[in-house]
Amino acid sequence: MGNENQPEKVLKDVELFLRQQAELFGDETFLPAAAKGGESEDGTAATVETRPLQSDEIKGESHPGKSEPDLKQKSKTIRVAEDRELFEGKVLNPQWMIDPHWYESDSLATLDSRVSGCKKCQLGSTRKNFVFGVGNPNSKLVLIGEAPGADEDEKGEPFVGRAGQLLNKILAAVQLRREDVYICNILKCRPPNNRDPIPDEVEACEPFLKKQLEIIKPKLILCLGRIAGQTLLKTNVTLTELRNNIYLYEGIKVMVTFHPAALLRNPNWKRPAWEDVQKMRKLYDEL
């Protein structure tokens, strides 16, 4: 029995090692199969195509929920159809503990109250607190991380603790206050031991993020960290490439920079992060 599981254990050790290397060095070579464009359980491609915007496209208008036709994300999975039905409130398992009218919410507070009991994925059973989001519901800038950490799980608010304090300083450096922007995560519940989100969790939770964005109608998203950027944009390109380009998500322009926690671990990244937020501020002013 022990010998039969040996190859699986070695693979898990290799995966853990690669993840640690990726976390340490920023750019990475490892991603779960689905995020790399592998096949989903139904045998169809599980990812969407994403490409950076060209300079003439960056200046153009963006509309939440409506991608420009030539930039439209392409995905042909059955899962997307299911996701759309879920998004429209047609498919709802009572055990998920979501208000069946969640999709009709016309304010963030209403949406929060309708989905905060969510048990749609395994994280609903291990979280301490549901972490919906915080900030200005009318902001044209939304900051998105990958998932709550321990401090966030404890307090029910995104980006608190040391990383949150650094984020506040980063915002202040470009004349923005925390309360000026909206801050949330792709996942609303903490993955155990702060592991990366897995594709099924993202698939389960992403409709809530899309609905938040539909209500807020931001012009710009700043993804905090490589995992947030790769997960949101369904790509496995490096953090360097993500940082050097502007993308679209649901018709909203997206920039990616370092996660504040990564900057605490590696102060050498503070300078490039500073350059990123200056670029972000310039684009923010132009939108």
Contacts of 268 (CB under 8 A, 6+ apart): none
Between residues 119 and 279, which has the closer beta carbon with respect to ligand SF4? 119
Neighbouring-strand partners of residue 257? 224
Does 118 bind ligand SF4 (CB under 6 A)? Our answer is yes
Considering only residues 143, 205, 237, 252, which one is a binding residue for ligand SF4 as defined by CB under 6 A?
A: 205
Does 222 bind ligand SF4 (CB under 6 A)? Our answer is no
Between residues 190 and 234, which has the closer beta carbon with respect to ligand SF4? 190
Does 114 bind ligand SF4 (CB under 6 A)? Our answer is no
Considering only residues 201, 218, 235, 273, which one is a binding residue for ligand SF4 as defined by CB under 6 A?
A: 201
Give CA 86 to chain center in angstroms: 19
Between residues 113 and 244, which has the closer beta carbon with respect to ligand SF4? 113
Give kind and range of the element (H or E) at residue 141. Answer: strand 141-145
Between residues 121 and 215, which has the closer beta carbon with respect to ligand SF4? 121
User: Collapsing DSSP states into helix, strand and coil, what is residue 69?
Assistant: helix
CB of 52 within 8 A of CB of 246? Answer: yes
Give CA 189 to chain center in angstroms: 12
Count interface residues toward ligand SF4 (CB under 6 A).
12
Considering only residues 189, 227, 248, 277, which one is a binding residue for ligand SF4 as defined by CB under 6 A?
A: 189
Considering only residues 79, 114, 120, 211, which one is a binding residue for ligand SF4 as defined by CB under 6 A?
A: 120
Q: Provide the 10 A C-beta neighbour count for residue 199.
A: 19
Contacts of 137 (CB under 8 A, 6+ apart): 107, 108, 182, 215, 216
Six-digit token string for 173: 């450096």
Between residues 28 and 83, which has the closer beta carbon with respect to ligand SF4? 83
**Angstrom distance (rounded) from CA 275 to CA 193:** 31
Between residues 95 and 175, which has the closer beta carbon with respect to ligand SF4? 95
Does 186 bind ligand SF4 (CB under 6 A)? Our answer is no
| Alpha-helix runs per DSSP H in 94-223 | 108-115, 123-126, 150-155, 161-173, 199-216
Six-digit token string for 10: 């070695």
**Angstrom distance (rounded) from CA 115 to CA 22:** 33
CB of 24 to ligand SF4, least distance (A): 26
CB of 216 to ligand SF4, least distance (A): 18
Between residues 204 and 224, which has the closer beta carbon with respect to ligand SF4? 204
Does 204 bind ligand SF4 (CB under 6 A)? Our answer is yes
Considering only residues 22, 31, 86, 121, which one is a binding residue for ligand SF4 as defined by CB under 6 A?
A: 121
In degrees, to the nearest 5, what angle opens at C-alpha 208 toward C-alphas 206 and 209?
A: 65
Phi, psi (deg, nearest 5) at residue 101: -100, 15
Options 155-163, 181-189, 244-252, 258-266: segment touching ligand SF4 (CB under 6 A):
181-189
Report the interface residues with ligand SF4, using CB under 6 A.
118-121, 123-124, 187-189, 201, 204-205
